[in-house]
Amino acid sequence: MADIRTTIAGLQMVNPVMTASGTFGYGIEFADLVDLSQIGGIIMKGTTLNPREGNDYPRMAETASGMLNCVGLQNKGVDYFCQHIYPQVKDIPSNMIVNVSGSSPDDYAECAARINQLDNIPAIELNISCPNVKQGGMAFGVTTEGASQVVRAVRRAYDKTLIVKLSPNVTSIADIARSVEDAGADAVSLINTLMGMAVDIERRKPRLSINTGGLSGPAVKPVALRCVWQVAKAVGIPVIGLGGIMTAEDAIEFFMVGASAIEIGTGNFIDPAISVKVAQGISDWLDRHGCNTLDEIRGVI
């Protein structure tokens, strides 16, 4: 029986499967439908220093093998999270990870500092790549200087596991990855969504309220794989791969190009229990191929 327990920069997980920010709420929304203790890590909804209303409806459009979204980081702010949501999630038997975004390095750092105080949050995932927000997000993650600046500021304020989530909407994702590694990231996760668009031809208008949005789902898997492959060769820190994973076979592709763990996002909308099924499938695949651990296939490409 293969052992798929995974440790990423001190974060110990029962398996290499995590759920992606923005697709699994705070975990509790899925509690009726899936055993949360069988998920390696749950990355909760993006949190900012101050509350955000997010973008106007419509915030989504279905596309071929995927979807676009422009939610825009709607959340009630970090203080609300600490006071009202944290008590509800702190005893969930998985790694509860907060995704952090901001408009300035100081905002990111202050938000991270407040989460640092929470005993049962072992890690944060830094969103320097969200393409939907007018200020911040996009601006930082597309240059090595911007990415480095945010990560350095957060690293000073946060002493637990720091995962940095990268955007594919850049010229060289390997360069961005290297700069965040140098700035002190413990791990990187990629890819965030690809910037895309959809048009309603009868109304002659974009389908999304802010015209463009982030593409996710199976349609992006080839781009995500390519990015993970390039980044895994460029950095020494662990790489968490995400982008269109729907099956265990998809996950195995990511491990082979260098990922140490994976996240499932949009797949949760198709099957709320997908993360647990994929984890089981990874274990089964290793067994069928005579592998004892993921070490035997990680980065073979």
For another protein, the binding residue among 15, 47, 48, 69 (CB under 8 A) is 69
Q: Which stretch binds another protein (CB under 8 A): 115-123, 134-142, 166-174, 262-270?
A: 262-270
The distance of Cα 19 from the centroid of its chain, to the nearest Å, equals 8
Could you say whether residue 23 binds another protein (CB under 8 A)? yes
Respond yes or no: is residue 70 known to be catalytic.
Answer: no
Binding to another protein (CB under 8 A): which residues in 209-228? 217-218
Shortest distance in whole angstroms from residue 98 CB to another protein: 15
Site track for another protein across 141-170, x = CB under 8 A:
------------------------------
Binding to another protein (CB under 8 A): which residues in 72-91? 74
Binding to another protein (CB under 8 A): which residues in 28-67? 29-30, 32-33, 45, 53-54, 56-67
Q: Which stretch binds another protein (CB under 8 A): 68-76, 123-131, 150-158, 172-180?
A: 68-76
Q: Which stretch binds another protein (CB under 8 A): 22-30, 95-103, 174-182, 247-255?
A: 22-30
Q: If you search the block for the tokens 């191929």, which residue do you land on?
A: 289
Query: Which of the residues 70, 111, 130, 227 is marked catalytic?
Result: 130
The residues carrying an active-site annotation are: 130
For another protein, the binding residues (CB under 8 A) are: 22-26, 29-30, 32-33, 45, 53-54, 56-67, 69, 71, 74, 217-218, 266, 268-273
